[in-house]
Amino acid sequence: MCRMTDTQQRITHWIGGRPWTGTPERTGEVFDPATGAVTARVDLASADTVDEAVASARDAFTGWRRTSLSKRVTVLFEFRRLLAERAGEVAAAITAEHGKVLDDAAGEVQRGLEVVEFACGIPHLLKGGHTPGVSTGVDVHALRQPLGVTAVISPFNFPAMVPLWFVPVAIACGNSVILKPSEKDPSASLLLARLWSEAGLPDGVFTVLHGDKTAVDGLLTHPDVAAVSFVGSTPVARYVYETASAHGKRVQALGGAKNHMVVLPDADLDLAADAAVNAGFGSAGERCMAISALVAVEPVGDALVAKIAERVAGLRVGDGRRGCDMGPLVTAAHRDRVAGYVDAGVAAGAELVADGRKHPVDGEAGGFWLGPTLFDRVTPDMSVYTDEIFGPVLSVLRAASFDEALDLVNASPYGNGTAIFTNDGGAARRFEEEVEAGMVGINVPIPVPVSSYSFGGWKDSLFGDTHAYGPDGVHFFTRTKAVTTRWPDPRDRGIDLGFPQNR
């Protein structure tokens, strides 16, 4: 049961460079996951509010697209400075509403900051090509131009990092952006909005629109929204992609995952056990790049599971502001859903090595707690393996050979990220070449690419043609125009009705 507190506050939209002053038709509750208390109420946008936000962003785009690259970069550099200076404030807001521990929240902000730094290089990234003399007296050059009003729909698990994957690149390219953050942890988005404003970004170029399905559908179908970026579960990603595409929008929709970590017999088992715990239970498993399926290639299964179980037993679960290793889940409903998978795994016959339902907790009884859970001898037909649980549940499967392990990974409908732990360079190279996933780690359990590359998966983990940030991000938020120029010599006169030819 949640309980009300005297410290509740109103969280509202950011439209036209300032907090929204209208009266909401509906609101939602924002919780402190470590206590179960309702700490704020967030305004949920109506269709009229969506129209207001889009109109503001559309008007701002007209001036921003004509702003010189040097002035855009000045804003980006100042935003980067402010974000680095106030990273602790943003991290604290994330922990208070999401529940992840402070160190993890600070790391999230830092990874987002790296994309801001990438976007600061936009003058180089937007350089087009130029070819003189493609025909007699004819030159051709290419240029990239912004799309217009773009929408970013971000998930609850990374309330700062995921928006920072998209927003700085979109703004640097000359677009205006409407961010629809998760209504579960909305405060970080407003801190980012204030930093953009302080950095000198013109009013309306960055908008924060809080809401639920009404807001999402409004953005997906609005005629003045040119493009949509989304991160979330696969069913919703598919819906976003199909709906927005049907309404003529450019879409990149990053979906769910079931990330595998393969451990070969020659691997350093202590290193692998550390990595499995870090990648499986960091942020309470609420990461799209979390390792949720570990494939142990025999004969190392028993030894590896024992090492992981030893480490799991020593994890301190509790309030993320108390220096714990792992915090609560984001809501009571999500905690109950994940706990239901633990029940299902036991019922299906998986060996429950560590039961997160019984793990000691350093936190208030009302918090949304579920400790790290470890299953062994999981089979591919069990729901703890087939479904994206998005919680602190690690399933260990056994494989008799490298080939069997690779086939298991490739049979998954998801293709977000994967990892292999081995000291065999040949095996690592073969895995890199043959595994069907968009991001691969070799002795790296969470292979999130650095900002100069791009983030995204394969198969049911991505809908659309481009990945997030990096070069793909610049391509997504711009469209290419090829310009053919001819300045005729005054001596060249006359009529010629023939088809123009290259000469």
Which residues carry out catalysis? 288
Q: Does the bond joining 299 to the residue before it have cis omega, within 30 degrees of 0?
A: yes
Amino acid making up residue 174: G
Q: Is 137 helix (H, G, I), strand (E, B) or coil?
A: coil
Residue among 68, 160, 16, 149 at smallest CA distance from 76: 68
Residues 405, 262: Cα–Cα separation, whole Å: 7
d(CA 99, CA 367): 9
Please give the Cα distance from 210 to 478 (Å, whole number).
26
Per-residue three-class SS string for 170-227: HHHCCCEEEEECCCCCCHHHHHHHHHHHHCCCCCCCEEECCCCHHHHHHHHHCCCEEE
Contact status, residue 350 vs residue 375, Cβ threshold 8 Å? yes
Rounded Cα distance between 276 and 300, Å, is 14
How far is CA 361 from its chain centroid?
29
- Determine the Cα–Cα distance for residues 320 and 229; give it in Å rounded to an integer: 30
Phi, psi for 367 (deg, rounded to 5): -70, 165
Structure tokens at 448: 């999130």
